[in-house]
Amino acid sequence: MSGGAATRLLYGAHVRANGIRQHYLRFGGAGPVVVIVPGISTTAAQWAFVAERLAGDHDVYVLDVRGRGLSEAGPHLSYSLDSCAADLAAFAEALQLGRHTILGHSMGARIGIRTARWRAASVELLILVDPPVSGPGRRPYPIPIDPLLKLLRHAKRGEADVALRGPNAPAWPEQHIRTRAEWLHTCDERALIETHHGFHSDDIHFDLAHLGVRTALVVAGRGGVIRPEDETEIRGLVPAIDIRRLQTAGHQMQIDDTDGFLSIIGTLLQSRA
């Protein structure tokens, strides 16, 4: 996380929920509750810069999903979508968060979808940021697993900083390169593999069709995770969904266009019913 400037970070902590240790960061401490659920190889620390911006008028919790960051990991755990969704539901219950917003990115959005289907009464607003729309009988997720696993192995050897500056690496600001290099090694390789497999075996469209919560979808204009025909299908499943497109950004839109991303998220949070 960034240093030097004043921060709205209150603390990092652990809670035992759904039978495992779950780590989170809390920002702000006042206002409506927002729970941020990161993507497949991303930790709470990598979303701290977003939480800082939202914490001016929200109570923001950023979760390390099992097998990432400082949350529990290991061969005894399942990394299935059902397990992660049960974690998120139990996390909110253990901390007595009441009705809250789930802001999920990529994998985190899929976790949010299933959690919201199961626990609709607890979710005030579900914000889905570029969720993979692959699944049984559907086109593959366009981001392959092998380069990610290669990068993870570099990180396990302490070489992520070099790998993230290679010719094929994204042109990210220094802050984000350093934070990813610092935290990537905490990811359990099996967690990444099983999650990526789940992108193709779990049917989130069934969940979408049975959602009973207010839902918004934020789509990256570049990257190809969600196409216009996917937006049409999702709107058919969730007719009241609020779809916003950040045309300037790829899948990591919170980094590619931070101001544009936060403008959309801020508008959605301010317009909650």
E strands, the chain, in order: 9-17, 20-27, 33-37, 59-63, 100-105, 123-129, 214-220, 242-246
Residues 6+ apart with CB under 8 A from 82: 114
Q: Which two tokens stand for residue 113?
A: 């979808």
137-163: b or e for each residue (b if 16 or more CB lie within 10 Å)? eeeebebebeebbebbebbeeeebeeb
Q: Is 215 helix (H, G, I), strand (E, B) or coil?
A: strand
β-strands 214-220, 123-129 pairing: parallel
pLDDT given at position 208: 98
Are 245 and 221 spatial neighbours (Cβ–Cβ below 8 Å)?
yes
Among residues 66, 31, 27, the alpha carbon closest in space to that of 49 is found at 27
What are the chain's domains? 9-142+202-270 (3.40.50.1820)
Per-residue pLDDT in tens (0 to 9) along the chain, 273 residues: 444 457 999 999 999 999 999 999 999 999 999 999 999 999 999 999 999 999 999 999 999 999 999 999 999 999 999 999 999 999 999 999 999 999 999 999 999 999 999 999 999 999 999 999 999 999 999 999 999 999 999 999 999 998 998 777 778 899 999 999 999 999 999 999 999 999 999 999 999 999 999 999 999 999 899 999 999 999 999 999 999 999 989 999 999 999 999 999 999 999 864
Question: Given this model, what pLDDT does residue 169 score?
Answer: 77
